[in-house]
Amino acid sequence: AMLTEDGELVAYTVVWDTHDTPVHPFLEFGIHPDYHDVGLGKVLLDWAEETAKRVIPKCPLDARISLMCYTKFGYAPYETLMRQQDFSPIRYSYRMLIEMDAQPETPILPEGIVIRTYNHPEELLMLSEVFQNSFEDHFGFVRKSKEQNIEEWQHWLATDKYFDPDLFFVAMDTINHTIVGLALCFPQEPGDATV
């Protein structure tokens, strides 16, 4: 954190490397708009890059390690700073909304597949594995053991005050009694009571 002489917070940075195999340490930073042009950004990102190097001994020798950071598309002060620090934009995420002015059409499901609400906690192991498998070809995926995966899910759901199993929907294969798809819904965006 960077403070003025009066104790006002004007900039901060955090490096997250909490995964067991942290091939993508994550950088988060912020700079007060009045301080964009005084060189704080370079100091923050230099520190973050040096700090992120501590993950190297925790990763396989052949791993491709990269420091990642999100920023709002089109926000010139951050985009310029990050390009100057040799960061390159490689992926984009979109927040998408739909105005629901009518009941959606009833889906036509394959034979043997039904959609229903998730049974908690009986189906947690199956749900956590299906969720993990759905990210197997995702950028930077590192598989967790079943034990670690289920432990993290148990902690997450036990501490999330917005978790409602009636908002978790699963597509079940009624022949093999397995979850083959899921939609995990929440009553609001984390940290945003207006959504």
pLDDT, tens digit, for every residue of 153-181? 999 999 988 899 999 999 999 999 999 99
CA 192 centroid distance within chain: 16
- pLDDT tens digit sequence for 16-49: 998 888 999 999 999 999 999 999 999 999 999 9
* pLDDT tens digit sequence for 82-138: 999 999 999 888 888 889 999 999 989 999 999 999 999 999 999 999 999 999 988
> What pLDDT is recorded for position 188?
77
Strand runs labelled E in 17-99: 26-31, 68-69
Residue 128, CA distances (Å) to 44, 65, 167, 170 in order: 36, 26, 16, 12
**Is 195 within 8 Å of 189 (Cβ atoms)?**
yes
Give me the pLDDT at residue 191, please. 60
Residue 64: the pLDDT is 87
Tell me the pLDDT tens digit for each residue of 51-92: 999 999 999 888 889 999 999 899 999 999 999 999 999 988
Angle between helices 40-52 and 76-84 (to 10 degrees): 50
pTM value is 0.73
